[in-house]
Chain A
Amino acid sequence: MAFPYSSGDVLTAADLNQSSGLVLVKTQTAGTAVSSMTITNCFSSTFHNYFLTVTGGTFNTANTQVQGRLVAGGVEASTGYKNRLLYSSYSASTPLAASSITNQRILWWGGTKANATAPVFCRLWLMGVYLTDGTYMTSDAYGTDGFAGNSSCYHTTPASYDGIKINPETGTMTGCTVRVYGYNNG
């Protein structure tokens, strides 16, 4: 049945499958004083592209950014991450930048502010993570009380990943909720 639907249409599973947009795949909430949290089996062949959010909860250290690693079968990928960040101060127009090919994690996709009890807010888009090619990731959530920016991470290893591990850059987290959404392939 063609979208958009009309009043009185009887929808089939095929109709719903082709018209759903973002689909919540998995939700995971961190326990207390957790240094890292691995979310397994959240990426699959069902979707090629994903949107991941980290909301609520706290890090125990202020101004801390979240980091991540891709995971395959419970084993985290520890190499191959190329990161770059474009950012600027709220009070100055001069653009700033940072980059890294040596820190073997996904960097700079959000965190908490100068108050360690402030809730955590992060988001990350992942393209092709389950496909056997590189994974392309972007975020526009890098931010602190003084700066904001957007980041990109290219994971160069041509492999398929079914999970992700996240951690604060230092210290622990409590109660942060990770939600993984898949973009319907149609």
Chain B
Amino acid sequence: MITMATWTRQELETLYPDGTVNVQVDDEVTVMTSEEWSAWIDAQVGTEKPNGLPA
């Protein structure tokens, strides 16, 4: 049985500290607010780490 690795909140927070992730609309790039960043981190926690296969 293959067990897929999943993201933990600690891993994601280490990779993407608050204040370092941007969103872009056309030419305008803005830093995520802390609330947006936290929601973005939450959305990835528990998802499979990319391995090239369809998730």
Contact = CB atoms under 8 A, between A and B. Distances in A.
B52 A147 contact: yes
Interface stretch (A7-15, A57-65, A124-132): A57-65
Interface residues of B, number: 23
Interface string A109-151: 0000110000000000000000000000000001011110000
Contacts, number: 70
B50 A63 contact: yes
Q: Taking chain A's interface residues, is the majority helix, strand, or loop, or is none over half, making it mixed? A: loop
A21 interface: no
B21 to A, nearest CB: 5
B29 interface: yes
B4 to A, nearest CB: 12
Contact of B26 (A38, A61, A147): A38
A180 interface: no
Interface stretch (A47-55, A153-161, A164-172): A164-172
A33 interface: yes
A142 to B, nearest CB: 8
A37 interface: yes
Interface in A10-44: 28, 30-40
21 contacts: A28-B26, A28-B27, A31-B24, A32-B22, A33-B21, A33-B22, A35-B21, A35-B22, A36-B24, A38-B26, A60-B15, A63-B50, A63-B51, A65-B50, A85-B54, A107-B54, A145-B52, A147-B52, A169-B55, A171-B16, A172-B16
Interface of B: 7, 15-16, 20-27, 29, 32, 40, 44, 47, 49-55
**Which 9 pairs between the two chains have the least Cβ-Cβ distance?**
A144-B52, A98-B54, A63-B52, A31-B29, A63-B50, A37-B24, A64-B50, A38-B25, A34-B24
Interface of A: 28, 30-40, 60-65, 74, 85, 87, 98, 107-108, 113-114, 142, 144-147, 169-172
